[in-house]
Amino acid sequence: MEKITRFGVSIEPDLLKKFDKVIKKKGYENRSEAIRDIIRKNLIAEKTEDPNTEAIGTLTMIYDHHTGNLTNRLLDLQHHHYKEILTTTHIHVDHDNCLEVLVLKGKTRNIQKLADNIKSLKGIKHGELVITESKL
C-alpha cells in the first residue's frame, strides 16, 4: 500500500458544511476519500485537455431515429471512426427515441471530434462525452 501523507486544509465553516452534506449524500465514509476523488478528477481533466493524450471514454446519446437521414449519418460517422469505437450499445427507449452508447479509445482530439460531430447532428436530443486517461 502507498504511504499516506497527511496535510491540513483551512476552509470556511459554511463551505465545509455544504461539502459534508454533499459527500454524505454521495456515500463517502470520510472527507479524505472525497478530497482524493476531487483531486483525481481534476488531474485527469487536466491531462485529457492535451489533444495527444491516449484516452478511453463513452459517448451517450438520445436521439429520434425518425429525424431525416439521422440513422444513416450516424452509421457513416461511426464507420469513418471505426478505429476509435470499441463497441456500441443501442436501446429502443420508445417508439421514436433511441439511446446509444459508444465506447471509445484513442487520442483525445479524435474522440472529441467524433463526439462533437455526432452531438451536432439534427435529431440528437442529448449527447454527453465522458473521457478519462487510458494509462492511469
Q: How many domains does the chain have?
A: 2
Query: For the chain, what is the mean pLDDT?
Result: 93
* Domain shared by 34 and 80, yes or no: no
- CATH code for the domain in which residue 129 is found: 3.30.70.1150
Whether this model's pTM surpasses 0.75:
yes
More reliable by pLDDT, 34 or 134: 34
Q: Looking at residue 136, what is its pLDDT?
A: 59
Please state, in angstroms and as integers, the Cα–Cα distance from residue 111 to each residue in 59, 106, 120, 130, following that order: 9, 6, 14, 10
Which of 42, 93, 47, 100 is CA-nearest to residue 70?
Answer: 100
- Res 36: pLDDT: 93
Q: Over the stretch 74-83, which tens digit does the pLDDT of each residue have?
A: 999 999 999 9
Average pLDDT value for residue range 110-133: 95
